[in-house]
Amino acid sequence: MPESSPALQVEELRVSFLPHGTRGGCRPSIAVRGVSLAVAPRECLGIVGESGSGKTQLFLAALGLLPPRSVATGRVRFEGADILGEPPDRLNLVRGSRVSMIFQDPMTALTPHMRIGAQIAESLVHHAGASWRDAEREALRMLERVSVPEAGRRMRQYPHELSGGLRQRVTIGMSLICGPALLIADEPTTALDVTVQAQIIELLRSMRSEVGMSLVLISHDLAVVGQLAERIAVMYAGRIVECGPARQILHAPRHPYTAGLLACTPDLTRPLAARMPTLGGQPPGPAEEIRGCAFAPRCPRAAERCGVERPQLESRTSAGGAEAAVACHFPLLP
Amino acid sequence: MPLLRVEHLRVDFAARAAVADVSFDIAEGETLGLVGESGSGKSTLARAIVRLAASRGQVWWRGEDLARLDGAALRRARRELQIVFQDPLASLDPRMTAAESIAEPLRNLMPEIGAPARAERVARMLARVGLTNREGGRYPHELSGGQCQRIGIARAMISGPKLLICDEPVSSLDVSVQGQIVNLLVDLQREAGTAMLFISHNLAVVRQVSHRILVMHEGRIVESGSREQIFAAPAHPYTRALLAAVPSIP
């Protein structure tokens, strides 16, 4: 596979959940309404959106991790192979080794009754056929690399004996032990204190260059994503509404939703306003049928056209060669 | 006389002091921000003030020892001292509609108000917190997190409290909704002259609402000062570390 081809490529992915029961009027919930994106080798792509925007479901679907009663269609290619809808035994050849995912709550990824060292080593034994002895030695080295203090002692401890920040360091170590090409980190710092959050962001930054992997960083917080991402995609109601170089998204957003979200993002360096900036209203529900632009009911720029005609995500290439896209009839900048 | 005076408050969990020797005052109409990270003891402190956690030390409510109030005086204090919790869905009764939840404190704490007057007050409060009559008839699971928190605030405000304790009231909400709820709290506070103890780990929100700020670390108040002082010239190393760790748009 040539170096320039993407590590992960998603085309027209749709994710829906079938309703429970068959009562009339029950409509399927649609979490992702058609998303295409590509993650380049060694790139950090930030995915920003509020709860219900589909940002998590998109990547759970890509890795075949959706719960029952869900349907994912479209195409997902990872390292050149189609993986959407593949059976678990085929997916497990790459999941946990070539591609890993970590979550907001590290306890969901850790087995409560297994020692930390064994949990990290297991992955190497399973995927690389390492002996337990070698694998545990590697696990110890990994704990040191992710800056877990007293790594030798922590190896023998159980997850409940560790703080939230240490647990997240352990899951990061676990996800990196096989040297993945891609790490998907879903709100990895949201449950952590702000001082610990800063440490985990630094850890992800250093591990990313050390391992030479691609990173997808999913968060509701633009300031957090901005710390690491080179490119940012903004999701709203199951679709990407804007995507482009991080600097452009953070300083010259074109979609009114991106601008609104930026204004609401807490930032102590900004002067104090008399009132908190807000976005009125709320996003559409997953079972709601969307006509036109999903953001139109909350948008200060919305016109009649927005209520009837859905804006397409239109890409353009800037003079510098960077690609940017926006789905808006009346973008803030041309 | 301060509205609330806390003196040498201490809460012990097993062998450890979750809150160790905390003292402060809140004046009428004032907003006191309380910041700290998880495990710092800030929520335990709130629970100890309203007697949801056993504590040592004194809590003076309008000059009277809160622990010794009984009968009519205790009922009055309950009406005047209300709390808003972090998880709006978990703190509402799932079997009550929004309007029933808002009416409940009136029913319990002010039984002298008759049904028609109560219904009228509930309707006014529903509208004031930005909910429609239709939403008033819905159950918590049918509403969004932001709407549930509006109900939580309406429930707390309907008895006309003098002090509102808000324990991480916007932490479980999306950023676009956080501002709506904070602005609502500030507006309601100004209209009614309510004082607030505003507890949060979110420094941007605390900066927005507080007149004075306490910084709590490992069960102790490590720094207190005016909002301007804390944000412009933090004195304690922990406060400085906390402020430095908040990410800003790069």
Contact A261 B231 (CB under 8 A): no
Q: What percent of chain B has pLDDT over 70?
A: 100
Q: Is the pLDDT of residue A322 over 70?
A: yes
pLDDT per position as a tens digit, B90-110? 889 999 999 999 999 999 999
pLDDT per position as a tens digit, A82-127? 999 999 999 999 999 999 999 988 888 899 999 999 999 999 999 9
Cβ pairs A/B, distance under 8 A:
97
Q: Does B174 touch chain A (CB under 8 A)?
A: yes
List residues of chain A with CB under 8 Å from any CB of chain B: 50-51, 164, 193-195, 197-198, 201, 220-224, 226-227, 246, 250-251, 260-262, 264-270, 272, 275-280, 282
At residue A21, the pLDDT reads: 61
Q: Is the pLDDT of residue A2 over 70?
A: no
For B40, the closest chain A residue by CA position comes to A193
Distance from CA of A274 to the nearest CA of B (A): 8
CA distance A154 to A148: 8
Question: Mean of the pLDDT values across residues B8-36?
Answer: 92
Distance from CA of B113 to the nearest CA of A (A): 34
DSSP letters spanning A267-301: -TTSPPPSS-----S-PPPTTS---S-TTGGG-TT
Q: Provide the mean pLDDT of chain B.
A: 92
Q: Is the pLDDT of residue A183 over 90?
A: yes
pLDDT per position as a tens digit, A243-296? 999 999 999 999 999 999 999 998 898 888 889 988 888 888 888 889 999 999
CA nearest neighbour of A138 among A153, A154, A149, A122: A122
pLDDT per position as a tens digit, A3-23? 578 999 999 999 999 877 655
Q: Does B182 touch chain A (CB under 8 A)?
A: yes
Question: Mean of the pLDDT values across residues A206-220?
Answer: 93
Question: Mean of the pLDDT values across residues B13-19?
Answer: 84
CA distance A198 to B190: 36
Is A74 in contact with A238 (CB distance < 8 Å)?
no
Q: Is the pLDDT of residue B195 over 50?
A: yes
Q: What percent of chain A has pLDDT over 70?
A: 97
Question: Mean of the pLDDT values across residues B218-224?
Answer: 95
Top residue of A276, A298, A299 to mutate, by most chain B CBs within 10 Å, is A276
Under 8 Å CB-to-CB from A222, ≥6 apart: which residues? Answer: A48, A232, A249, A250, A261, A262, A265, B249
pLDDT band at residue A191 using 50, 70 and 90 as cut-offs: confident
For B243, the closest of A265, A268, A279 (CB atoms) is A268
Contact A250 B231 (CB under 8 A): no
Range name among A155-159, A284-288, A330-334 with the lowest pLDDT average: A284-288
Q: Is the pLDDT of residue B54 over 50?
A: yes
CA distance A106 to A163: 10
At residue A321, the pLDDT reads: 79
Q: Is the pLDDT of residue B83 over 70?
A: yes
Q: Is the pLDDT of residue B16 over 90?
A: no
User: Hey, how many other C-beta atoms are within 10 angstroms of the C-beta on B14?
Assistant: 5
At residue B166, the pLDDT reads: 94
Q: Is the pLDDT of residue A148 over 50?
A: yes
At residue B113, the pLDDT reads: 92
CA distance B229 to A318: 45
For B203, the closest chain A residue by CA position comes to A268
For A260, the closest of B144, B176, B246 (CB atoms) is B176
Q: Is the pLDDT of residue A73 over 60?
A: yes
For A262, the closest of B179, B180, B249 (CB atoms) is B249
At residue B39, the pLDDT reads: 82
Q: Is the pLDDT of residue A145 over 80?
A: yes
Q: Is the pLDDT of residue B111 over 80?
A: yes
Q: What percent of chain B has pLDDT over 90?
A: 75
ipTM of the complex in this document: 0.84
For A222, the closest of B178, B208, B249 (CB atoms) is B249
At residue A3, the pLDDT reads: 52
Q: Between A267 and A155, where is the model more confident?
A: A155
Return the ∠ at Cα A220 (arms to A63 and A321), rounded to 5°: 75
| Helix, strand, coil tally for chain A in percent (to 5) | 35, 20, 45
Contact A275 B183 (CB under 8 A): yes
Q: Does B186 touch chain A (CB under 8 A)?
A: yes
For A267, the closest chain B residue by CA position comes to B248
